[in-house]
Amino acid sequence: MTFLKKELKSFKLFNMVLIAIFLYIVIQSWLDTEMSFGALFDGWGYMVSYMQGNPDIEGSSFFPPNIYKEDLVVYFLAMVETVQMAVIALLLSVIMAIPLSYVTSRNILELLIPGKSIYHVFTKSALYTIGTLIANIFRSVNELVWALIFVSAVGLGPMAGILALGVHTAGVLSKLLSEGNEAIDPAPVAALSYSGAGFLKILVYAIVPQTMPHFVSMVLYRFESDVRSASILGFVGAGGIGFYLFDKLRSFENGDVSTILIFIISTVWVLDKLSAMIRNFFI
- Mean pLDDT value across residues 238-255: 88
Classify residue 10: in a domain, yes or no: no
* 166 touches 96 (CB < 8 A): yes
**What's the CA dihedral at 87, 92, 93, 96 to 10 degrees?**
160
Classify residue 5: in a domain, yes or no: no
How many structural domains is the chain composed of?
1
Could you read off the pLDDT of 101-115 as tens digits, one per residue? 999 999 898 888 887
Using the Cα atoms of residue 180, residue 184, residue 188 and residue 192 in order, give the sign of their dihedral: positive
Classify residue 193: in a domain, yes or no: yes
Classify residue 37: in a domain, yes or no: no
Report in angstroms the alpha-carbon separations of 236 from 82, 93, 152.
Answer: 14, 21, 11
- What residues contact 67, with CB distance under 8 A and at least 6 apart? 259
Per DSSP, the three-state class of 154 is helix
Classify residue 201: in a domain, yes or no: yes
pLDDT tier at 203, thresholds 50, 70, 90: confident
Classify residue 259: in a domain, yes or no: yes
Nearest-angstrom CA–CA distance, 98 and 101: 5
CATH code: domain of residue 194 = 1.10.3720.10
Range of the structural domain that residue 225 is part of: 74-282
The span from the first CA to the last CA of the chain, in angstroms, equals: 46
pLDDT of residue 283: 65
Could you read off the pLDDT of 264-274 as tens digits, one per residue? 999 999 998 88
Classify residue 46: in a domain, yes or no: no
